[in-house]
Amino acid sequence: MNTFAKIIATRLSLPEQNVANTLALLELGCTIPFIARYRKERTGALNEMQIAAISEQNERLKELARRKETVNKTISELGKMTPELQQRINDCWDSTEIEDIYLPYRPKRRTRAQIAREQGLEPLAKLIYLQRERDPERAATRFVGGEVGDTEAAIHGAQDIIAEMVSEDERSRNNLRAMFRREAVIASKAVKAKKDSDEAQKFSDYFDWHEPLKRCSSHRLLAMRRGEEEGFLRVSIGADDAECIHRLRKLHIKPYTQGGDTSGACARLVAEAVEDSYKRLLRPAIENEFAAASKERADDEAIQVFAENLRQLLLSAPLGQKRVMAIDPGFRTGCKVVCLDEQGNLLHNEAIFPHPPINHYMQAKIHLLNMIRRFGIEAIAIGNGTASRETNSFVADSIDSMDSLEQFEQTEQQTPRQQKKPQVFTVSEDGASIYSASKVARDEFPDYDVTVRGAVSIGRRLMDPLAELVKIDPKSIGVGQYQHDVDQTKLKHSLDQTVMSCVNTVGVNLNTASQHLLMYVSGLGPALAKNIVDYRREHGAFRSREQLKKVPRLGPSAYEQCAGFLRIPNAKNPLDNSAVHPESSDVVEQMAADMQCTVGELIGNKERLKEINIDKYVRENAGKLTLTDIIHELEKPGLDPREHIEEFEFDPNVHTIDDLVEGMVLPGIVTNITNFGAFVDIGVHQDGLVHVSQLADRYVSDPNQVVKLHQHVRVRVKEIDTRRNRISLTMRGIK
């Protein structure tokens, strides 16, 4: 642990003691949100990203330690372990270096060099490599016989052994790595047989592309690799072959000059073996190594982009507990309409047909307005898929008619208060179809079909994006960058961490949260989340956090991890509806007693809270950092960190890509953010791209510096490519 702490602290430029304490907490099973929020004194107030980085480095070092055990065991079994080699392996914590050390001893298939060794040619290879024989052909005659037919065969076999020796030499590999790091070029060419197909056109930018590998951005590299995977491109990574061979010869031939003058026949044979080693063994190995490393870096960047987008999406502004009508729009199959109560429960569903080919416009309007009145609808969520713009226009026209249509007669179901015109919002449908066909949806709505479930999901996303979107595989939400091309295990781990972070940042209502939402609360997981829901169903609403201890299999450790992130509105103990951890309740009670008031009277009373001297309450698990957090939480207990939602309206004159004209300025919504720019929905069923260079009238290195997911922006149409269905937008020069 001490070794790991020292290595990680150096790599991440963090204090070693803070890293060591964090590792100790992780080993105890503490979650990242819990450590970041409630163990600041131990970690020196490290944030979630830093703790996650420590955890990741720790796992990598553990994996490397297991690899080193395999290396030690294999070399020892071969009888080739020496004290010096053992010490070098023990001291090494670089995976590439470990593999280089292991390479000469690693079991391998029967190579040309291995065959030559079996023929007894290794002594000849050493003579030639060391250049101690003036006449290598005469020396080779001593090895002719058996499977070695003549001196030429003997020399070729010896050169095969030399080639393998050169390829397994650490100096050779490190020299080439240095060369590739500085000068490697990634290039892509179109596969001629497929170049003119429509499917290949999305990769047309890379039909004849090359650039320095170190400057290749993650999205370009992933695009080329996808083109290669789909059979439209051929991708290669390489450096100057002549220069690489020259550098290798300098390492292995003494003396050697730039002009090619050698010290004799042995040197010429070694030179040939070095060239063969480079072309046949080293270049493919180093190219594969750099291809894998560059892909890993690109994956990490893409995963980081996806995780940040997912974070912004999950923390999108919620409408809150209001009565919502949700519409999944469509033409031929009609618009699927559901009405939900304040808790998201389904009250009613039906289909209306305001659009072609059925065109029951007036009938649909009457039904829509009757539902608004009957169920007291306060907001309308419209999916952003097919017929979205047309449905928006239809709903707007219907709402404008609310005061004048005679069909609005009083009914038994109508609410007695004056019906206000509901707000209208466009909601992303990404992943709704995945949810509607999932087991989660079937369990929630066993008696309804997928169209109703999808519409319910759209409505609930408006009310609380976080609570609804956690039910969907994050990869299906549609805010990633090449998410299907990256390492899926890494992606899942990162996205799960992001979801957990968001859920615990907001906090969860213990009495209304679904099992799927509860499973992301720190310390719970699927089994305990189910047990909580079952307990709630059997015993009724939780009245205190202490009741959690009665939930089957929820022990002290799980309680410690989860309690601070769960909320109980109107609980007997007001702290149960705050982020103050139960372990700190007695501190708050002491504060209230010293202020001669109750805890309830202390909460929200900024004047009294300002009078508290936190130094007086410092203790082992509640230092100044924790106490400062407690005071801030008491000022605004349970405050939702998310922003307020705003209505949005597309340009009413633009509905399809054919309506666009270059130079046109339009309102839009940011739907996705990548390293190379932001995608913006302008209401034509095809998002436009604002390249990073077009986001502002200044240099922008990271699009997140300028835009956020679901932000309302104004953009100018820069270019329209109808063949590839691409729209280029700009935000430069727009106030």
What would the pLDDT profile of 23-72 be if each residue is shown by its tens digit?
999 999 999 999 999 999 999 999 999 999 999 999 999 999 999 999 99
Distance (Å, whole) CA 463 – CA 322: 7
Task: Band the pLDDT of 1: cuts 50, 70, 90.
Answer: low
10 Å CB burial of residue 109 (0-12, 13-18, 19+) is exposed
pLDDT at 263 over 60: no
What confidence tens digit (pLDDT) does each residue in 336-378 have? 999 999 989 999 999 999 999 999 999 999 999 999 999 999 9
Sign of CA dihedral 648, 650, 651, 653: negative
Give how far Cα 316 sits from Cα of 81, 462, 502, Å: 58, 9, 10
Distance (Å, whole) CA 666 – CA 687: 13
Region label for 73, one of left (φ > 0), alpha (ψ between -120 and 50) or beta (otherwise): alpha
User: Which structure tokens are listed for 253?
Assistant: 């031939």
Cα dihedral 699, 219, 285, 487, rounded to 10, equals 130
What single-letter DSSP state applies at residue 599?
A: H
Distance (Å, whole) CA 457 – CA 516: 14
* DSSP SS3 for 51: helix
What confidence tens digit (pLDDT) does each residue in 291-341 have? 999 999 999 999 998 999 999 999 999 998 899 999 999 999 999 999 999
User: Which structure tokens are listed for 338?
Assistant: 């559901």
Number of H helices, E strands in the chain: 30, 15
Task: Choose among 530, 504, 537: nearest CA to 516.
Answer: 530
pLDDT at 406 over 50: no
pLDDT at 417 over 80: no
What single-letter DSSP state applies at residue 277?
A: I
User: Which structure tokens are listed for 334?
Assistant: 């009609």
As a residue count, the chain comes to 735
pLDDT at 273 over 70: yes
Average of pLDDT values for 190-211?
Answer: 92
Distance (Å, whole) CA 160 – CA 125: 8
User: Which structure tokens are listed for 400?
Assistant: 């404008």
Do residues 599 and 575 touch, judged by C-beta distance below 8 A? yes
What pTM was estimated for this model as a whole?
0.85
Q: Which residue has the tokens 């307020």?
A: 644
What percent of the chain has a predicted confidence (pLDDT) above 70?
96
Predicted pLDDT at 105: 92
